[in-house]
Amino acid sequence: MHDTTLPTPVRAGGALVLLYGLPVSRVTALRHDDIHTDTKRRTWLQFGGHRLRLPPAVATLLLAQQKHAVGASEIARAHPGDTAWLFPGGPASDALYRALRTHLRRARSAALAALAPDRPAAVLADLLDININTAITWST
């Protein structure tokens, strides 16, 4: 989230994937009007039938991304008020997926490495659905 060398879509999309466990396919389908700020300056993400309250750091990223929302179609470019995708290309594009795949692999590995020493190997193996020998190696 804080690596300013990464593009904003990667940081914002990665935050939703890593912090909330949202699938990339659902993240790319978000629209600019799925983000709401209330009178108390709290930011919410409308996700399906749920509203997720966003922590300030994530809210800042998504609000920055919202400013660069892209029209949902060629027709939408002629009608600026129409709904726009929050991320470039919307659900039809795999550009965000490819970018996230590269960066999230490292983040996931770092999170697992931080988690492993604090859990017994048997719990880790069950939790992550990995082989017990792999869990033992990670724990040590």
Which DSSP string do the residues of 88-132 spell out, in sequence order? Answer: TTGGG--HHHHHHHHHHHHHHHHHHHHHGGGS-HHHHHHHHT--H
| Average pLDDT, integer, range 93-113 | 79
Q: Is the pTM of this model over 0.75?
A: no
The answer to the question of residue 77 being in a domain is yes
How many domains does the structure of the chain reveal?
Answer: 1
Digit-coded pLDDT (tens) for 17-52: 888 878 888 888 899 999 999 999 999 999 888 898
The answer to the question of residue 57 being in a domain is yes
The answer to the question of residue 27 being in a domain is yes
The answer to the question of residue 72 being in a domain is yes
**Percentage of the chain modeled with pLDDT above 90:** 25
Instruction: Identify which has the larger pLDDT, 130 or 112.
Output: 130
- What lies within 8 Å, CB to CB, of 24 at 6+ separation is 13, 17, 96, 97, 100
In the block, tokens 């039938």 appear at 49
The answer to the question of residue 99 being in a domain is yes
The answer to the question of residue 131 being in a domain is no
Domain that holds residue 100: 8-107
Between CA 40 and CA 7 the distance in angstroms is 29
| Average pLDDT, integer, range 97-122 | 80
The answer to the question of residue 48 being in a domain is yes
Task: Give how far Cα 120 sits from Cα of 114, 116, 128, 140, Å.
Answer: 13, 8, 12, 10
